[in-house]
């Protein structure tokens, strides 16, 4: 099977083929997901919540992400590997370049940053230094204390217009992938249609170019709670490989996420 690249992800969008993605944190699960045909694996700072049991993602360090990126890379043959830039590891362009270099050397093929306009120059600088970038808008978990909790974003017209504007700015700055988290389905659809790059949703409805879930949520084993936008595939199949296969199938045929896993 051919390796997934930025070019093949772009082709999938152009051909209206849904992109499937999951978080992963070790070699064994990465191998399982890769063998089932998942397209993208994200070493997410969600590990702070699902592995460490914290209330948010802010305790995750760059070293944590690098360690888990090295582990995931060893289990992957085909999938595209993206690594999160954790809280305050990209507060200045210079810091960002050093942080990104550490994650790329650990085995990432792309780094992910949360935020909008303030990152534009940094994204351009990363591209100039041969680092592909994934953006992240909507509910950005590193901003949980600014938002006052894990709340759906973009429900009023002004905020929705701002998210759309930021998505366009990020694409112009050079991101090659965008994650939209916990925004209304109609806004996510509009953003996906407005951008030429692939848009991956989580709690953003079915009209994005693909979907991502936290693996612990998809298996129904998260320690704290099950988000509205997730679905327990292990409960339906009683087999991890079949659970992943069914998740992939439902994303590809458009049956996941349904209205019950989306926001209006």
pLDDT of residue 222: 84
pLDDT one-digit tens code per residue, 64-112: 999 999 999 999 999 999 999 999 999 999 999 999 999 999 999 999 9
pLDDT of residue 159: 95
* Portion of the chain with pLDDT greater than 90, in percent: 92
Q: Which two tokens stand for residue 245?
A: 């296969």
Q: 18 a known binding residue?
A: no
- Is 181 marked active-site? yes
Residue range 187-197: average pLDDT? 98
What 3-state DSSP class applies to 263? coil
Which domains does the chain carry?
A: 6-261 (3.20.20.60)
> In this model, does residue 191 exceed pLDDT 80?
yes
Q: Give the residues across from 81 on adjacent strands.
A: 41
Q: 46 a known binding residue?
A: yes
Catalytic residue, from 181, 242, 250, 260: name it: 181
What 3-state DSSP class applies to 122? helix
Residue 227 CA from chain centroid, whole number: 15
> In this model, does residue 175 exceed pLDDT 90?
yes
What pTM was computed for the model?
0.96
Task: Say how far apart CA 47 and CA 54 lie, in whole Å.
Answer: 9
Residue range 162-186: average pLDDT? 98
Q: 56 a known binding residue?
A: no
> In this model, does residue 28 exceed pLDDT 90?
yes
Backbone φ/ψ region at 16: left (φ over 0), alpha (ψ -120 to 50), beta: left
ω into 257 cis (within 30 of 0):
yes
Q: 112 a known binding residue?
A: yes
pLDDT of residue 7: 98
> In this model, does residue 224 exceed pLDDT 80?
no
pLDDT one-digit tens code per residue, 126-148: 999 999 999 999 999 999 888 88
Residue holding tokens 């399982």?
Answer: 32
pLDDT of residue 223: 73
Query: Please, which residues have CB within 8 angstroms of residue 160's CB and are 6 or more apart in sequence?
Result: 154, 183, 184, 187
Lowest mean pLDDT among 111-120, 141-150, 169-178, 187-196: 141-150
Q: Are 46 and 23 in contact (CB under 8 A)?
A: yes
Task: Say how far apart CA 241 and CA 219 lie, in whole Å.
Answer: 11
């Amino acid at each position: 099977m051919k390796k997934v690249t930025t070019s093949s992800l772009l082709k999938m969008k152009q051909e209206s083929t849904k992109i499937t993605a999951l978080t992963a944190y070790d070699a064994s699960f990465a191998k399982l997901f890769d063998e089932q045909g998942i397209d993208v694996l994200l070493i997410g700072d969600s590990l702070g919540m699902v592995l460490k049991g914290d209330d948010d993602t802010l305790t995750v360090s760059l070293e944590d992400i690098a360690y888990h990126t090295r582990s995931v890379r060893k289990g992957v043959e085909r999938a595209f590997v993206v690594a999160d830039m954790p809280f305050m590891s990209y507060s200045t362009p210079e810091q960002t370049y050093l942080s990104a270099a550490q994650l790329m050397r650990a085995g990432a093929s792309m780094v992910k940053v949360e935020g909008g306009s303030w990152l534009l120059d940094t994204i351009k600088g990363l591209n100039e230094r041969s680092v592909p970038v994934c953006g992240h808008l909507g509910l950005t978990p590193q901003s949980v204390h600014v938002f006052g909790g894990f709340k759906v974003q973009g429900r009023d017209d002004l905020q929705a217009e701002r998210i759309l504007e930021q998505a366009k700015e990020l694409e112009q700055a050079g991101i090659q992938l965008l994650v939209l988290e916990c925004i209304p389905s109609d806004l996510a659809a509009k953003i996906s249609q407005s951008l030429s790059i692939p848009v991956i949703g989580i709690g953003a409805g079915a009209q994005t170019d693909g979907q991502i879930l936290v693996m612990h949520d998809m298996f129904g084993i998260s320690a704290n709670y099950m988000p509205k936008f997730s679905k327990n595939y292990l409960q339906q199949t009683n087999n991890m490989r079949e659970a992943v296969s069914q998740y992939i199938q439902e994303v590809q045929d458009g049956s996941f996420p349904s209205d019950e896993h989306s926001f209006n």
